[in-house]
């Protein structure tokens, strides 16, 4: 019997002008599609105008905010797994990514998260480690292996769309996707037997 495809949401966690995030996300989304077993949905936070000011506890956001937050909440809710694409800014991840995570807190519960990072010498690894703590608080499981682009801007071809030497990053992506698939299937099976207790 063929297993149902998993819904994978890839979140582009940078909105900075001239960012590399869209390039990295497009590469990873293609690798995930080629890997098989996933329906891939790319969420680009540059296209989602979530406010930084929140309503008071118990209050509903105004209609204009709900028009932005609710469609994104549905996309996150439908995810069986996530991959977050993050740069490293000042030894951590971007504020826009934290804002999107916080606005949609419950949609992360009981789901696996993979992380693809990029940056200078560290390749975004400090952003990755900071995100692990955040996702643990949200009852999400971050998979052990990551994809990391060190000195990231030198990795891409002249068109700026594909890695010059894809062997290592393709292998890292496959390892991440194998682990993400295992966790997604395991957690779906567990939740089918008993709702996640959060």
The CATH number for 6-193, chosen from 3.30.590.10, 3.30.365.10, 3.40.50.11540, 3.40.50.360, is 3.40.50.360
pTM of the model: 0.95
Instruction: Give the C-alpha separation, 183 to 142, whole Å.
Output: 9
* pLDDT score, position 2: 60
Instruction: Give the C-alpha separation, 109 to 187, whole Å.
Output: 10
Which of the four pLDDT bands, split at 50, 70 and 90, describes residue 161?
confident
Residue 109 scores a pLDDT above 70: yes
* pLDDT score, position 86: 98
Residue 1 scores a pLDDT above 70: no
Cβ 170 vs Cβ 28: under 8 Å: no
**pLDDT tens per residue across span 23-56:** 999 999 999 999 999 999 999 999 999 988 888 8
Phi, psi (rounded to 5 degrees) for 81: -160, 160
Cβ 24 vs Cβ 56: under 8 Å: no
In the beta sheet, which residues pair with residue 84?
A: 11, 115
Q: Where are the domains of the chain?
A: 6-193
């Amino acid at each position: 019997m063929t297993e149902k495809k998993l819904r994978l949401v890839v979140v582009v966690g940078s909105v900075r002008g001239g960012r590399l995030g869209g390039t990295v996300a497009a590469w990873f989304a293609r690798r995930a599609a080629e890997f098989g077993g996933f329906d891939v949905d790319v969420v680009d936070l540059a296209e989602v105008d979530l406010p930084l000011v929140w309503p008071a506890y118990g209050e509903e956001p105004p209609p204009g905010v709900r028009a932005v937050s609710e469609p994104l909440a549905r996309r996150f809710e439908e995810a069986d797994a996530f991959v977050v694409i993050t740069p490293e800014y000042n030894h951590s991840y971007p504020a826009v990514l934290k804002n999107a995570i916080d606005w949609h807190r419950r949609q992360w519960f009981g789901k696996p998260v993979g992380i693809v990072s990029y940056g200078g010498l560290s390749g975004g690894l400090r952003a990755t480690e900071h995100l692990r703590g955040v996702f643990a608080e949200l009852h999400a499981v971050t998979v052990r292996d990551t994809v990391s682009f060190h000195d990231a801007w030198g990795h891409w071809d002249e068109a700026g769309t594909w890695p010059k030497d894809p062997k290592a990053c393709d292998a890292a992506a496959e390892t991440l996707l194998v682990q993400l698939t295992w966790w997604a299937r395991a957690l779906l099976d567990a939740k089918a037997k008993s709702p996640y207790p959060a």
